[in-house]
Amino acid sequence: ALTSDPRISGVAFTGSTATAKRIQAAMAGSMAPGAPLIAETGGLNAMIVDSTALPEQAVRDIVASSFQSAGQRCSALRCLYVQEDIEPALREMLIGAMNEQRVGNPWELETDIGPVINAAAQAEINAHIATAKAEGRLLHQLDAPAEGHFVAPSLIQVGGIADLGKEVFGPVLHIATFKAGQINDVIAAVNATGYGLTFGLHTRI
């Protein structure tokens, strides 16, 4: 209703891409042609970790970006690319760091990861994880409380960012590997998603 009102002279919106398109259509039908729309929507945010990276620093940032706020931040890391030479050791360290995270009531000081926003979000994210598990791609998963809108933080294997298709707005990290000579292909794949918000790079060169 608000964005269909011709008295509104512009809109700044943060939320999903689908809702932004609905707002755009509503504005086009009623507002002045020059009315601005600023839409900060979802992201398929990637991080690249090459073989020169310091793994402790990389894992610290990976866990913070993927799982803080139960992954319900538009800037959260969704797809991690790790150079295959270091992937086994980095994955072991990442799983160890995940195991130190505590899922529970955010009022408790020992809690690291709280619930997602509602039951619909919980069901959608859990369905994504269940598909990965059925396909043998679920690499690791934490326990989560049965009561409430909790999603168990999960690590899922993918071939690359193109496998995602859309943002999974929760505590789910997708991991892919690449060969040293494929770095330009990885960047091209990230750029081809149609999403662009945040990007991470861990390297010492």
- CA nearest to 180, candidates 41, 13, 48: 48
49 close to 80: Cβ distance less than 8 angstroms? yes
Query: Which DSSP category does 197 fall into?
Result: S
Which of these is catalytic: 56, 74, 79, 110?
74
Q: What is the C-alpha to C-alpha distance for residues 65 and 47, in angstroms, rounded to an integer?
A: 10
Element of type H or E holding 157? strand 154-157
Do residues 140 and 98 make contact, with C-beta atoms less than 8 angstroms apart? yes
Choosing from 40, 56, 92, 135, which is the catalytic residue? 40
Residue 146: closest CA among 111, 101, 104, 99: 104
Establish whether 40 is a catalytic residue: yes
40, 72, 140, 172 from 69: Cα distances, Å: 18, 6, 19, 12
Catalytic residues: 40, 74
